[in-house]
Amino acid sequence: MADIIQLLPDHVANQIAAGEVVQRPASVVKELLENAIDAQATEIKLLLKDAGKTLVQVIDNGVGMSVTDARFSFERHATSKIKAANDLFQLRTKGFRGEALASIAAIAHVELKTKQETDQVGTHIVIAGSTVESQEAVVTPTGTSVAVKNLFFNIPARRNFLKSNAVELRHIIDEFHRVALAHPGIQFSMYHNGSESFNLPESNFRQRIVNIFGSKTNEKLVPVNETTEVLTISGFVGKPEYAKKTRGEQFFFVNNRFIKSAYLNHAINAAFEGLLKDGAHASYFLDLTVNPETIDINIHPTKTEIKFDDEHTLYAILRSAVKHSLGQFSIAPVLDFDRDANFDTPYNFENKQAKAPSIEVDRSFNPFAEETASKQSFAPKFKKDKGSSWQGLYTNLDLDASGTEAQTDARAMRFESGEETSNMFEDASELDKKQTTYQLHNKYVVSTIKSGMLIIDQHRAHCRILYENFLKHMTIKEAVSQQLLFPVLVFLSQQEMACIKSVQSDLEHTGFVFANFHNDHIEVSGVPVNVPESEVTVILEQLISDIENEVPDSHFSATDLLAKSMAKSLAIKRGQSLSLLEQEHLVNSLFACKDPNHAPDNKTIFITISVDELDKKFF
């Protein structure tokens, strides 16, 4: 039998590796930004076209590469980070596999320009599908510029899996935020289709967070600092009252590398236990510094997952550090019953000097001076008689200017009297004859039908009613809006702002009116009818959460998603008491819908129980 096992050609092996390393344009952005950081760059510029599908270019002012290194960097498993297997446990850099550039070059057109500071000219290399088309000397600044064009040009099936530009850009911004937050000492800028999206100057960690997520974020941050033999924790957590329904502001960094860890995230949730509303997620920006020998970052191709030697200890320390910070800054209650809170020094006055007390004396005051007759004549006279009835308390109060008692005409006096009501049991019996619906545990509305009884989930029913109403308004584009006396300011990050702008027209068709879009907030001057002003921020945050979780692309109806999200936010909740009129209106409106059987999320709205089923229960 002939041999059937053979070695794969390099270009095929590179494409297979690219399937692990490069999933979408955001993966290319991550790899190129990390290479620029490893090159000791202090200024990094990211240029994008068509959300990275047409162009992803990263320009840095790092150390650059020699002619040989520039050519050799596109070979598989070529790296300057490790030389022996033991080096995998001493890593303090980003890239070390040596697969990124080789994988990217296998599925795109790549142009590399690089020059070292000591060289007179640099190197220009052009590669398409792992094939080197040209390599020549070129005049270029010190540093490296890598341009990746036409991603997946030779794998059309992979290119068809890419989402819309808005979705792909959202993933790129996520990666950009992760790298920029981990390195606040580096200046970052990002341009998309020629317009500037971010310009982040060199700063400290807190300023970098504020520059990315808006100036309003500064007042939300609570510092967390803890140093132990196992690890060092530094960073910030968000105050509980500013918790959002989205997980967008949750960042863990281990040795300046962004990671995802459900286990450590659970430690944060445990520290916030009892402080967050249902469905809300705490914000955190935490940098953990550990010994590289105690972690393994080589367990995942994208290096976003890390294996720790002793996860239980890290969990306990992280939970305690966050809980201590929340208590230290009076965010969480302190269970110390012997401590008097009146003796606590506010943090604003901790370093201020004590101010000497001053005494003011009224030198004209004479306690022995007699009161004038005029003062005495106007003073009201009260009778103090313990044995008198309650009417005696009001004698001698009605005095005229001369001190004599004023005459009161009894005919001018009016007495309040309550309305006469008939027997309450007669009313109740009359009401029972008319009542056709009942509310059960403030969750369900029970109504009678010919064959038995109907039990309706009030939240799902209202969701269906609002959902169809919003769809109708968006379709005919004739929604009614109520103007606000004062605009509501909704503070959002730039990514959340872009998300709202993508559905702005649909929101306006439901009744929202946006006065202005600023860098870090939106002015809402009008809302749909029956939408309370206090719910505007909650509705928009819920909408952003739904869009990010479902990630609609060109094949998904954004209008449908918007209607579902708003209906879920504005529908009456379980536990809310309804009057008899509201119950009847809910039932009538539900069965006027096109599909009264299912909620917008395809869950059952009501069930029926026949009389026969009830009779069987009593057998």
Per-residue pLDDT reduced to its tens digit, 137-185: 999 999 999 999 999 888 888 888 888 887 888 889 989 999 999 999 9
**Residue 341: predicted pLDDT:** 56
**Residue 146: predicted pLDDT:** 93
Q: Which amino acid is at 295?
A: I
Spatial contact of 504 and 206, defined as CB atoms under 8 Å apart? no
Among the residue ranges 17-21, 545-549, 551-555, the one predicted with the least confidence is 551-555
Half-sphere exposure of 564 (CA within 13 A, CB side): 17
CA separation, residue 517 to residues 163, 420, 491, 513, 540 (Å): 26, 58, 10, 11, 14
Residue 210 and residue 180: Cα distance in Å, rounded? 12
**Residue 458: predicted pLDDT:** 92
pLDDT exceeds 90 at position 69: no
Residue 238 and residue 252: Cα distance in Å, rounded? 14
Q: Could you tell me the two tokens for 138?
A: 């070129």
Q: Could you tell me the two tokens for 198?
A: 């971010």
Residue with tokens 């989205």: 246
pLDDT exceeds 70 at position 597: yes
Residue 60 and residue 179: Cα distance in Å, rounded? 14
Spatial contact of 488 and 536, defined as CB atoms under 8 Å apart? yes
Mean pLDDT, rounded, for 424-436: 52
Instruction: Please report the DSSP string for 304-370 in residue order.
Output: ---EES-HHHHHHHHHHHHHHHHHHTTSS----TT--GGGPPPGGGTTSPPPPP-----TT--TTPP
Q: Which residue has the higher pLDDT, 125 or 352?
A: 125
Question: What is the SS3 assignment for 40?
Answer: coil
Record the pTM: 0.68
**Residue 180: predicted pLDDT:** 94
Could you give the domains of the chain? 10-200 (3.30.565.10), 212-328 (3.30.230.10), 440-607 (3.30.1370.100)
Residues 73-96: tens digit of each pLDDT: 888 666 665 555 555 555 556 655
Residue 235 and residue 252: Cα distance in Å, rounded? 10
Q: Give the ranges where 2-116 is alpha helix by DSSP (H).
A: 10-21, 25-38, 67-72, 100-106
10 Å CB burial of residue 379 (0-12, 13-18, 19+) is exposed
Question: pLDDT band at residue 346, thresholds of 50, 70 and 90?
Answer: low
DSSP β-ladder status, 257-259 and 284-290: unpaired
Residues 37-51: tens digit of each pLDDT: 988 899 999 999 999
Q: Which amino acid is at 241?
A: E
Question: pLDDT band at residue 469, thresholds of 50, 70 and 90?
Answer: confident
Spatial contact of 85 and 57, defined as CB atoms under 8 Å apart? no
Question: What is the SS3 assignment for 22?
Answer: coil
Helix (H) or strand (E) holding 177: helix 165-182
Quick one: which of 148, 171, 137, 195 has its CA closest to 53? 148
| Measured distance between the N- and C-terminal CA atoms of the chain, rounded to whole angstroms | 76
Q: Is the dihedral of CA 403, 405, 411, 416 positive or negative?
A: positive
Cβ neighbours of residue 176 closer than 8 Å, sequence gap 6 or more: 29, 33, 46, 188, 190, 198
Strand partners, 124: 113, 136
Half-sphere exposure of 529 (CA within 13 A, CB side): 8
Spatial contact of 57 and 146, defined as CB atoms under 8 Å apart? yes
3-state SS, 223-266, equals: EEEEECCCEEEEEEEECHHHCECCCCCEEEEECCEEECCHHHHH
Residue 174 and residue 279: Cα distance in Å, rounded? 22
Residues 502-529: tens digit of each pLDDT: 788 878 887 888 888 887 788 999 888 7
Residue 225 and residue 338: Cα distance in Å, rounded? 27
pLDDT exceeds 70 at position 217: yes
Q: Could you tell me the two tokens for 294?
A: 């105690």
Q: Could you tell me the two tokens for 326?
A: 């929340």
Strand partners, 513: 526
Residue 553 and residue 568: Cα distance in Å, rounded? 21
Q: Could you tell me the two tokens for 48?
A: 């994008």
Strand partners, 456: 445, 606
Q: Which amino acid is at 255?
A: N
Among the residue ranges 140-144, 302-306, 471-475, 607-611, the one predicted with the least confidence is 302-306
Rounded to a whole number, what is the largest CA-CA distance in the chain? 133
Mean pLDDT for all residues in the chain: 79
Strand partners, 114: 123, 144
Residue 521 and residue 618: Cα distance in Å, rounded? 61
